[in-house]
């Protein structure tokens, strides 16, 4: 699990790759269409696409002479589950937890008397 999470988060760390994923949310795109809004070479875009494909975030398919890219949303599931585990910590009411501990400590002290 850790190796695949590392690969996914590494791929997501780059703003160009995140922008590409956002573009692919709309629909499958040809590599040349993916490259169009960016001020970099087609070779550089191809490298970004390779990183995304290696992470399983996109798939690439050749249709005739054109290479198409497709978003693979299930690839983010494992990362999403991992991140949601941290979301559970946000709901803790520290004041209520402190009151609980004080009550438990008082009860524990009374039991030992």
Whole-number pLDDT of residue 74: 86
CATH classification for the domain delimited by 2-111, as one of 3.30.1360.120, 1.10.10.10, 3.90.1150.200, 3.40.50.2000: 1.10.10.10
Contact 8, 57 (CB under 8 A): yes
pTM over 0.85: no
CA distances 56 to 10, 13, 42, 87, Å, are 12, 15, 21, 24
- Spell out the domain ranges in the chain: 2-111
pLDDT at 89: 53
Helix (H, G, I), strand (E, B) or coil at 69: strand
pLDDT for 84 equals 81
What does the pLDDT read at residue 2? 57
- Per-residue model confidence (pLDDT) at position 82: 83
pLDDT tens-place values along the chain, 113 residues long: 556 889 999 999 999 999 999 999 999 999 999 999 999 999 999 999 999 999 999 999 999 999 999 999 888 888 888 888 777 655 556 677 778 777 777 766 565 55
């Amino acid at each position: 699990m850790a190796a695949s999470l590392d690969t996914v988060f590494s791929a997501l760390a780059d703003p160009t790759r995140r922008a590409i994923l956002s573009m692919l949310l709309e629909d499958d795109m040809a590599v040349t269409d993916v490259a169009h809004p960016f001020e970099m070479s087609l070779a550089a875009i191809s490298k970004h696409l390779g990183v995304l494909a290696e992470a399983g975030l996109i798939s690439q398919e050749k249709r005739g002479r054109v290479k198409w890219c497709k978003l693979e949303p299930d690839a983010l599931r494992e990362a999403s589950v991992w991140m949601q585990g941290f979301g559970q910590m946000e709901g803790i009411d520290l004041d209520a937890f402190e009151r609980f501990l004080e009550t438990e400590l008082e009860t524990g002290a009374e039991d030992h008397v």
